[in-house]
Chain A
C-alpha cells in the first residue's frame, strides 16, 4: 500500500519546493492558516436559494465568461452569421445547448409546435403532411453526433489568425439527439414511385426566410439521417431549429437543416445556392470541389490554449482536447509537445457513439520549457489528420471549407499559449 502513495507524495513535495523557491511571500503564505478554512464563511452559516427560486437554471455567475462569441468582421450582419462554442472551457464531450454555436442565414426564428408542418413530396407514392405530434408517434432513436460547420478553422488557411480555440475550432457542437430515422418517414410516404433508388436524392429545406435547402443522396438519407426534435434530453433550442431539425451524422453542418419543413424526393441534385456558390471548395488552380459532404478526422487541444494558459507553474499538467471524424470512430490521438518531432499517444475518454466527439487526455509533467503543442487524430479508416502544409499542397489556400489541419499552440515559459504555425 505504501508504494502506491509514493509517487503522489513525491509530487507533493516537489510542488511545495517549487512554491518555496518561487517566492518568499509564497512560502510564508503557505504556512499561514487559510481563513477560508479557519473562519466561518457566510455560505456555511446563512441559508441559500430555495427550490422555488430557479425553475430553469442557468450556469452560476462565476461562469459568465463561458459563452458563445462571434467575430464581428467576419460577416456583413449578425443576422446572417455565426458564433462559436466556448470549447476551451468545456470538458467531457456533450455540448450544453445554451453555448452551442449558431449559424443562421436569415436569423433564428420562433416557430411553435402548433404551427409546425413537415411536407414530404416529389417522387413518393403518397405526398404527406405531418404535424409535430405526428412525428412523436413514429419509432425513434437516440444518438450522440457532432455537428461541425464546414467553415470551422476556415479563417486559418492563409496563416495563424485568430488567437483562441473558441474562434479557430468553435464551430462545432456535440449533442444527444432523439429523433425519427428519415428512412422511416420516407417509407411512410412510399418510395416505389422513385424506382431505382441508387441515383435518387432528397432535397431538404427549412421554414426560415433563407429556406436553406440542400440535396442529400438517397443512400445517406436511408442510412443514419435523423429528423430530430430533442437534444441533450430537452427540446431543441430556437437557435438550433426548434421544434425540428435534420441531423446528418458526420456531414457538414450546413446540411443539418433547421426548422425542417420539406423533404422532396428528386432525380437530381437541386444545385441550390448553398451547394454551388457556397460550401464548394476552391482549389489553387481555380477549379472547385463540390459535394464535399463528409467532415474528415480532426482534433484540437482545448487546454492549454490561448484562452486557457497554464497558471499553475511546473509539475503535473493535463493536456486535454477533442477529436472527431465524419467517417466513424476515433481510434487514436497522438500529442506532440515539440511541434511534431516526437509524438505520444493520448488516453481516450468514453466513446459515446460513432461520428461523435471523443475527449482525449495526456497526463504529463511540465518542466517549464516552452512547448509547441499539437494533436493528431486517427479514425477507424486509418486516416491520419494532416498538417496544414499537407492540406495546402493539395488544395491551396482558398478552399475556405474543410480545414482539418493539425493545430499548433506555442506555450511559452510563463504558460501563455498562442496560435502559431510551424515549419
Chain B
C-alpha cells in the first residue's frame, strides 16, 4: 500500500524539477535583455514557488506518513474483509424465511442421544435377545462374537492394548460413553439398512456388545434407566485438545536456515513396502529397488558415497528384513481372522504359526471346510508355492473354502507375506 501512495505523491516533485529545468535552458539561449529580465523574474517566481512547493511537499510527506500509519491500521483490521470480500451485514430482526418446524417433524429427526442419556427412548433389551438380533443383523461384518470380519470394525476385546504398538480400539476398550453406542447403532446401523432397528432391538444389541466385551453377565438387561449411568472402562481416557500447551508454545519459534544438522541419511523407504496402488501402465513412480542412496552432509550438499546406515542391503538367501516388514503390513489384511506369534489362537481362521511344513487342515480345534479336510486326507503340506497359489485366488484354488478373503493380486505382496509367515515357528 505504501508503494502505491508514494507513486501518487512522487510526480509532484518530478513536475517542479521539470519546470525549473525548462526555464534555465531557455534563459541561456541569447534572447533579448527584456526577455531575460522577464525570464529572471519568472525564474525568481518559479524558485519562490519551488520553495513553497518544497514546504508543501514536506507537509505532504508528513501527511503521507500519517496516512500510511492509518492505512496499515485499517489494512490489518480489514484484511479478512478485503481478501474474503465484505461480510454479510448484521440484520435487525428476522428475514421471515422458512416455516415453523412441527413437533412430529422434530420428533422424527431429533433423535441424537447425549452422554447424560437425554434423547433415549423408553425400552429395554437383554443379552440373550441381543445375541439373536446381532447374529442376524450385525455378524456378517462384525463377526458372531463382535470380533470383526475382514476390515470391518472389531467391537469386542482389545483391553489393555491402547498403549501397545498395535492398539485395538473397540467399544469395550476405547468408547467413552455407552450413549454413543446406542445412538450410533440406532441411527446408522445396520450398514445398508440404517434407521430400521427398533428401540428394543437397539437396547438388546448394545447389551450383547457389552456381554461380548465381558462387561456384563448373560442375565443382563439394558434399558433407558441404566444405560447412561453405565460406566465404560475408557471413560476417563480422553483429554481435551492440549496442542496449544504441549506443542504450539514450542513450535512457534524462528526456524533454523543453515547448518541445521551435521548429516542426513535415509532411514525408511516407501518403495520397499509396495503398498501403493498402480498408477496405470506408464507409472512414473519408482519401483522398489535396493539401490544405494547417498548421505547428505552439511559440508557438501550431497556426497556420492553410499551410506552403510541406509536401509540395510538384503543379505542373499537369508531373511530379508524389508520383505518381512512389507509382509507384516500385508498381514494387516489377514489379521482380522488369523493370528500369529506368541499365544496365537484360532479365530475366524486358524492360527498361522509354523505354517510351512504343516499338513493342510491340521490345526487342532479349528473347524475346517470340507475342501481342507480332503486336502488333509491327501496329506498335502503347506509350502511357499502352495500358499502363493492359494492366496493368488483362494476360492478357485481351494473351492469351497470358508475364507471370504478375495486374495492378493500382487506377486510381491504374496512373496512378502510368505517371508513374514516364515518367521513364525511352531
12 contacts between A and B (CB under 8 A): A119-B105, A120-B101, A128-B101, A161-B275, A266-B114, A276-B238, A277-B180, A282-B167, A288-B239, A341-B297, A412-B293, A422-B267
The answer to whether B98 and A129 have CB atoms under 8 Å apart is: yes
The answer to whether A213 and B112 have CB atoms under 8 Å apart is: yes
The answer to whether B106 and A293 have CB atoms under 8 Å apart is: no
**Given A141-B84, A384-B253: A282 touches B162 (CB 8 Å cut-off):** yes
The residue that A339 contacts in the complex, of B279, B284, B296, with Cβ under 8 A, is B296
**Given A163-B285, A211-B188, A268-B116: A106 touches B294 (CB 8 Å cut-off):** no
The answer to whether B269 and A418 have CB atoms under 8 Å apart is: yes
Q: How many residues of B contact A (CB 8 A)?
A: 100
The answer to whether B101 and A129 have CB atoms under 8 Å apart is: yes
The residue that A416 contacts in the complex, of B79, B265, B286, with Cβ under 8 A, is B286
Tell me how far the C-beta of A136 lies from the nearest C-beta in chain B, rounded to whole angstroms. Answer: 10
CB contacts under 8 Å to B, within A108-157, are: 119-122, 126-131, 134, 137-143
A residues touching B (Cβ–Cβ < 8 Å)? 65, 69-73, 75-77, 79-80, 105-106, 119-122, 126-131, 134, 137-143, 159-164, 167, 180-181, 184, 187-188, 190, 203, 205, 209-211, 213, 261-262, 264, 266, 268, 270-273, 276-277, 280, 282, 284-294, 296, 306-309, 334, 337-343, 351-354, 369-372, 376, 378, 381-384, 386, 390, 394, 397-398, 410, 412, 416-423
CA separation between A272 and B247, bound complex, in Å?
A: 27
The answer to whether B242 and A121 have CB atoms under 8 Å apart is: no
Residues of chain B with a CB closer than 8 A to A190's CB: 94
Q: Which residue of A lies closest to B97 (CB)?
A: A134
The answer to whether B257 and A339 have CB atoms under 8 Å apart is: no
B residues touching A (Cβ–Cβ < 8 Å)? 79-80, 83-85, 87-89, 91, 94-95, 97-101, 105-106, 109-110, 112-116, 141, 150-152, 162-163, 165, 167, 169, 171, 174-177, 179-180, 183-184, 187-188, 191-192, 194-195, 237-243, 246-248, 251-253, 255-261, 263-271, 273, 275-277, 279-280, 282, 284-286, 291, 293-294, 296-298, 301-302, 309, 329, 332-333
Q: Among the interface residues B105, B180, B194, B296, which one has the most CB atoms of the partner chain A within 10 A?
A: B296
The residue that A390 contacts in the complex, of B87, B152, B165, B251, with Cβ under 8 A, is B251
**Given A73-B275, A290-B238: A384 touches B255 (CB 8 Å cut-off):** yes
The answer to whether B150 and A76 have CB atoms under 8 Å apart is: yes
The answer to whether A142 and B268 have CB atoms under 8 Å apart is: no
The answer to whether B176 and A276 have CB atoms under 8 Å apart is: yes
* Interface of B (DSSP majority class): loop
Q: Which residue of B lies closest to A344 (CB)?
A: B257
CA separation between A190 and B92, bound complex, in Å?
A: 12
The answer to whether B116 and A307 have CB atoms under 8 Å apart is: no
**Given A139-B89, A306-B284: A272 touches B151 (CB 8 Å cut-off):** no
CA separation between A176 and B267, bound complex, in Å?
A: 40
CA separation between A96 and B243, bound complex, in Å?
A: 33
The answer to whether B279 and A73 have CB atoms under 8 Å apart is: no
Tell me how far the C-beta of B256 lies from the nearest C-beta in chain A, rounded to whole angstroms. Answer: 7
Closest 9 CB pairs of A and B: A339-B264, A286-B163, A76-B151, A286-B162, A419-B270, A209-B194, A127-B101, A421-B268, A128-B98
User: How many pairs, one residue from A and one from B, have CB atoms within 8 Å of each other in the complex?
Assistant: 314
